[in-house]
């Protein structure tokens, strides 16, 4: 599978769909994605091959650990993220796959700031804040 930014300059090459797919409703993900929530698929770092140039933005997550966003310096699309809590993983926003058949989230976090009209269907884990 290949995840790519809008202009195609920044890519992530992956073996297939991830097992750890998280819908996050925190305010930072809302701002990062420009939508009511972000959905990120997490892969072991060894399974991800990044190509192209990325600009990096690092912020502190609510956990107090760094959260790094890698985005295309040309079109601005976020293509990868890394969390200080799980430095052995790389997250890929599922919209960068442009595949409506990509699997649904297995977990929904920060639901205390979820928009009231958003409904996450299915039998998945729900957390009012981040998962421990």
- The pLDDT tens digits of the residues spanning 41-82 come to 999 999 999 999 999 999 998 778 899 999 999 999 999 999
In a domain, 132, yes or no: no
In a domain, 75, yes or no: yes
Band of residue 16 on the pLDDT scale cut at 50, 70, 90? very high
Distance CA 101, CA 50 (A): 23
What is the span of the domain harbouring residue 56? Answer: 2-115
Whole-structure pTM value: 0.92
Distance CA 124, CA 62 (A): 22
In a domain, 51, yes or no: yes
Length of the chain in residues, anyone? 132
What is the average pLDDT across 20-36?
Answer: 94
In a domain, 126, yes or no: no
If you average pLDDT over every residue of the chain, what do you get?
94
- Among 17-21, 35-39, 128-132, the minimum mean pLDDT is found in 128-132
Band of residue 85 on the pLDDT scale cut at 50, 70, 90? confident
Question: How many CB atoms neighbour CB 65 within 10 A?
Answer: 12
Contact 93, 82 (CB under 8 A): no
- Tell me the CATH number at 104: 2.170.150.70
The closest alpha carbon to 64, from 42, 85, 37, 82, belongs to 85
Contact 33, 23 (CB under 8 A): no
In a domain, 108, yes or no: yes
Number of compact structural domains in the chain: 1
Query: What is the pLDDT at residue 111?
Result: 94
pLDDT at position 132 over 80: no
In a domain, 127, yes or no: no
In a domain, 44, yes or no: yes
């Amino acid at each position: 599978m290949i995840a790519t930014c809008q202009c195609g300059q920044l890519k992530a090459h992956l073996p297939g769909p991830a097992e750890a797919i998280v819908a996050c409703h925190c305010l930072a993900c809302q701002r990062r994605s420009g939508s009511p929530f972000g959905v990120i698929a997490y892969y072991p770092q060894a399974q991800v091959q990044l190509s192209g140039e990325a600009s990096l933005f690092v912020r502190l997550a609510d956990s107090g650990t760094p959260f790094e966003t890698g985005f295309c310096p040309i079109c601005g699309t976020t293509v990868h993220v890394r969390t200080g809590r799980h430095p052995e993983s790389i997250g890929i926003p599922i919209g960068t796959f442009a595949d409506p058949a990509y699997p649904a989230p297995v977990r929904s976090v920060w639901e205390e700031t979820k928009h009231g009209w958003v409904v996450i269907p299915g039998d998945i884990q729900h957390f009012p804040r981040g998962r421990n």
